[in-house]
């Protein structure tokens, strides 16, 4: 199954017309038709709009999974979105890793210092 089939199927499940859907997405009906018929693929921004509108993951839309929902709950997503790596308590509680190997406390501190130094240069 491809992107066009998925977005058309999701629209049809909701019994929305192409006109209604295009208006919700802020695109033309012709553009939506091209996406649904696989004549064009949506850009990243439009793909994200489809995912938000249909409340599915982008992975589902592009065919990487049959699961329409994200693996992360809203509570977990909120936590991850506001994660502060320099929080000592957080570093003690969670195992951070790179290439499958746990970062030591010293490596984590150097990583944070590197990011801070790079930001100061920009």
Q: What are 67-82's pLDDT values in tens digits? A: 677 656 677 777 767 7
What angle, 0 to 180 degrees and rounded to 10, lies between the N-to-C axes of helices 29-36 and 18-25? 110
Q: What integer pLDDT is reported at residue 33 of this predicted model?
A: 97
- Could you tell me the fold of the domain covering 3-61? 434 Repressor (Amino-terminal Domain) (1.10.260)
CA dist 7 and 36 (Å) reads 6
CA dist 113 and 42 (Å) reads 39
* Mean pLDDT, residues 85-97: 76
Q: Look over the chain and give the mean of its residue pLDDT values, rounded to a whole number.
A: 86
Domain boundaries, the chain: 3-61, 83-121
Q: What integer pLDDT is reported at residue 88 of this predicted model?
A: 77
Q: What are 5-25's pLDDT values in tens digits? A: 999 999 999 999 999 999 999
Q: Write the DSSP assignment of 18-40 as a string of letters.
A: HHHHHHHHTS-HHHHHHHHTTSS
| pTM, two decimal places | 0.58
Q: What integer pLDDT is reported at residue 111 of this predicted model?
A: 84
């Amino acid at each position: 199954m491809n992107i066009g089939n998925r977005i058309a199927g999701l629209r049809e499940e909701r019994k929305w017309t192409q006109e209604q859907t295009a208006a919700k997405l802020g695109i033309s009906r012709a553009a939506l038709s091209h996406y649904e018929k696989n004549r064009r693929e949506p850009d990243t921004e439009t793909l994200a709009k489809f995912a938000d509108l249909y409340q599915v993951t982008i992975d589902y839309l592009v065919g990487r999974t049959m699961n329409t929902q994200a693996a992360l709950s809203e509570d977990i997503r909120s936590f991850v979105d506001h994660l502060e790596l320099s929080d000592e308590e957080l570093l003690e509680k969670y195992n951070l890793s790179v290439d499958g190997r746990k970062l030591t406390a010293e490596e984590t501190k150097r990583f944070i210092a590197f990011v801070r130094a790079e930001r100061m240069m920009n």
